[in-house]
């Protein structure tokens, strides 16, 4: 299994062309990769900011202001919050923008591993650190340089978010450069792999249902969406940038919809709630995507659809339990429900983290609380998905165990009837039993132990 994981690959040239930095330390390669990622991201965002500045110029915003705005946008793409003068902290940031630096850091991790002579998985962490440390340093530098009288990015979040994003994306990219996903997941213990598979299946069902709910709600309010667009009258270029901003908030909307199906729902301001049982909203900002939110103190969806939405977490848990039973190495009746609940607990923890990143304040006033509650989302997900997964995994393992036992019994009976298998009988006292010493040295005519015999070399 680990032989292909440990194989050495020929160094690949860097993405920008040219020769690889042969003989350079891993830290130098990581610094070069981090600088390239930050530079490419800044160039893309500077171009977008310049386009918006030309289409709708602002008095007093010169080239320095454009560069500071691009640096702030780059930090927002790394999920770094900021403080607006006269408004307060802004932390409700688009999760979709994280895909741009995440994809670039993924490629950076692959390049560092392939050109740095990394051939073992335990060395991928060093390669990821070589990218993450300088990347976090660049994030802090940009947060300090991007401060102005209008906006002040958080230096602490720049260091923490930049480091965690680079460490995760570069580490996954570097590991994938050494081996395919099937071999990487095969390094986990069988039971843990089954739990992760069940949690991933439950999260996939919840994400699909959330995407359908968010898209269906927006489609049902297309008239309000068009009215907000007409009121904003952004123009051709402004409309393109506005659509790009809304696409960035699509992952946030899916996480909010998942919280809706779980039951706690989410808020859009202090004293507001959007849940299956009802909604209570105040005035909303003029952002076209917010037209999907139901207004007024009435049920957000029809009663039948509300019941169907509340059943989604249990269906997701049941699906995850079936995946656990299928991926389990052997049927274990006693532990199957425990593994199922563990998958639900893992899914709940992931949803709590996503809910935390998908929401945040929009100032110090009425919109200081926006998005789902992380702890409520996590606890309810653990209970609903975990209990359903435990029941499903227990039933599926019992059926599998029962089918296995019946299948073995019937197969043995068939072999005995055909004479291919003798029924077990007590040994005769006159018969001699020959014991083989498996640890004896092979004789002259023996081929010896098979290839690969013995403990496998670990990565």
Asked if residues 268 and 293 have their Cβ atoms less than 8 Å apart, the reply is yes
Query: Could you report the per-residue pLDDT of 4-55, keeping only the tens digit for each?
Result: 333 434 444 444 344 445 456 889 999 999 999 999 999 998 888 888 777 7
**Quick one: pLDDT at residue 24?**
66
pLDDT value of residue 281: 83
Question: E strand or H helix at 90, and its extent?
Answer: strand 88-90
pLDDT digits (tens, 9 = 90+) for 358-384: 999 998 888 999 999 999 999 999 999
Percent of the chain with pLDDT over 70: 78
User: What's the confidence (pLDDT) of residue 373?
Assistant: 94
Distances, alpha carbon 1 to alpha carbons 182, 185, 344, 452, in Å: 10, 11, 29, 10
Q: Are 255 and 355 in contact (CB under 8 A)?
A: yes
- Is-contact 336 194, C-beta < 8 A? no
Can you say how many angstroms the Cα of residue 322 is from the centroid of all Cα atoms in its chain? 21
| Cβ atoms 251, 259 nearer than 8 A | no
pLDDT of residue 159: 96
Q: How far is CA 33 from CA 16, 71, 178, in A?
A: 10, 19, 18
Residue-level pLDDT at 333: 63
In the predicted structure, residue 124 carries a pLDDT above the cut 90: yes
Could you tell me if residue 245 is left (phi over 0), alpha (psi between -120 and 50 degrees) or otherwise beta? alpha
Q: What is the per-residue pLDDT across 130-157, written as a single tens digit (0 to 9) for each?
A: 999 999 999 999 999 888 888 899 999 9
Q: What's the rounded mean pLDDT across residues 424-453?
A: 49
Which tokens belong to 448?
A: 């010896």
Q: What angle is formed at CA 47 by the lines to CA 143 and CA 248, rounded to 5 degrees?
A: 70
CA count, 13 A, side-chain hemisphere, 59: 0
Q: What is the pLDDT of residues 156-207, one digit of tens each?
A: 999 999 999 999 999 999 999 999 988 888 888 888 999 999 999 999 999 9
Task: State how far the Cα of 13 lies from the Cα of 22, in Å rounded to an integer.
Answer: 10
Element (H, E) at 432: none
**Placement of tokens 């300090």 in the chain:** 144
Is the Cα torsion angle 163, 168, 173, 176 positive or negative in sign?
A: positive
Structure confidence at residue 86 (pLDDT): 86
Contacts of 245 by beta carbon, 8 Å cutoff, 6+ apart = 94
Distance between CA 338 and CA 333 in Å, rounded? 10
In this predicted structure, what is the pLDDT of residue 181? 87
Q: What is the mean pLDDT of the chain?
A: 82
> Which tokens is 67 given?
């560069």
| Tokens coding 435 | 């014991």
What pLDDT does 430 receive? 52
- Give percent of the chain with pLDDT exceeding 90: 50
**Residue-level pLDDT at 411:** 42
Residue 167 has phi, psi (to 5 degrees) of -65, -40
Q: Are strands 278-280 and 273-275 parallel, antiparallel or unpaired?
A: antiparallel
Lowest mean pLDDT among 55-69, 156-170, 324-338, 350-364: 55-69
What pLDDT does 455 receive?
Answer: 37
Residues with Cβ within 8 Å of 184's Cβ and at least 6 positions away in sequence, in order, are 5, 121, 175, 176
pLDDT band, very low/low/confident/very high, at 59 (cuts 50, 70, 90) = low
pLDDT tens for 225-257 read 999 999 988 888 888 889 999 999 999 999 999
Which pLDDT belongs to residue 149?
82
| Residue 76, SS3 per DSSP | helix
Q: Identify whether the C-beta of residue 371 lies closer than 8 Å to the C-beta of residue 359.
A: yes
Quick check: 107 pLDDT over 60? Answer: yes
pLDDT tops 60 at residue 441: no
Q: Do 172 and 165 form a contact (C-beta atoms < 8 A)?
A: no
Give me the mean pLDDT over the 300-318 stretch: 83
User: What pLDDT sits at residue 29?
Assistant: 93
Stated as kind and residue range, the H or E segment containing 135 is: helix 124-145
Interacting residues of 366 by C-beta distance below 8 A, sequence separation 6+: 269, 270, 282
What was the pLDDT predicted at 2? Answer: 40
Rounded (10°) CA dihedral 129, 173, 113, 188: 90
Q: Please report the pLDDT score of residue 399 as a whole number.
A: 83
Above 70 in pLDDT, residue 263?
Answer: yes
Angle separating helix axes 235-248 and 222-232, nearest 10 degrees: 130
d(CA 303, CA 276): 9
């Amino acid at each position: 299994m680990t032989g292909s994981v440990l194989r050495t690959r020929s160094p690949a040239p860097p993405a920008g062309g040219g020769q690889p930095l042969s003989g350079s330390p891993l830290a130098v390669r990581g610094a070069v990769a981090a600088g390239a990622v930050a530079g490419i991201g800044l160039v893309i965002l500077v171009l977008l900011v310049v386009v918006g500045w030309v289409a709708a110029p602002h008095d007093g915003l010169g080239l320095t202001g454009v560069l500071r705005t691009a640096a702030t946008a780059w930090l927002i793409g790394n999920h770094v919050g900021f403080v607006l003068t006269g408004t307060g902290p802004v932390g409700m940031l688009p999760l979709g923008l994280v895909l741009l630096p995440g994809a670039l850091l993924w490629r950076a991790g692959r390049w560092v591993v392939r050109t740095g002579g990394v051939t073992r998985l335990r060395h991928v962490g060093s390669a990821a650190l070589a990218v993450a440390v300088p990347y976090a340093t660049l994030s802090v530098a940009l947060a300090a340089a991007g401060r102005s009288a209008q906006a002040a990015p958080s230096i602490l979040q720049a260091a923490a978010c930049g480091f965690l994003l680079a460490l995760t994306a570069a580490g996954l990219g570097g590991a994938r450069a050494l081996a395919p996903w099937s071999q990487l997941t095969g390094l986990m213990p069988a039971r843990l792999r089954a739990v992760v598979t069940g949690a991933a299946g439950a999260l996939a069902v919840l994400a699909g249902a959330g995407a359908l709910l968010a898209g269906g709600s927006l489609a049902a309010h297309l008239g309000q969406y068009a009215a907000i667009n007409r009121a904003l009258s952004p123009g051709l270029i402004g409309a393109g940038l506005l659509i790009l901003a809304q696409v960035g908030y699509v992952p946030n909307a899916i996480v909010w919809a998942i919280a809706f199906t779980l039951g706690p729902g989410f808020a859009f301001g202090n004293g507001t709630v959007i849940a299956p049982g009802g909604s209570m909203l105040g005035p909303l900002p003029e952002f076209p995507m917010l037209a999907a939110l139901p207004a007024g103190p009435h049920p957000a969806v029809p009663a039948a659809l509300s019941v169907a939405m509340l059943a989604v977490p249990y269906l997701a848990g049941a699906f995850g339990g079936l995946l656990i039973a299928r991926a389990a190495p052997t049927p274990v009746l006693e532990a199957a429900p425990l593994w199922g609940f563990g998958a639900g607990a893992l899914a709940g923890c992931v949803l709590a983290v996503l809910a935390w990143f998908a929401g945040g304040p929009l100032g110090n006033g009425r919109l200081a609380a926006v998005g789902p509650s992380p702890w409520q989302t996590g606890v309810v997900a653990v209970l609903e998905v975990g209990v359903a997964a435990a029941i499903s995994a227990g039933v599926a393992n019992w059926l599998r165990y029962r089918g296995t036992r019946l299948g073995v019994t019937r197969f043995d009976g068939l072999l005995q009837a055909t004479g291919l298998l003798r029924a077990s009988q007590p040994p005769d006292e006159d018969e001699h039993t020959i014991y083989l010493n498996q640890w004896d040295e092979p004789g002259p005519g023996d081929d010896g132990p098979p290839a690969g015999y013995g403990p496998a070399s670990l990565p």
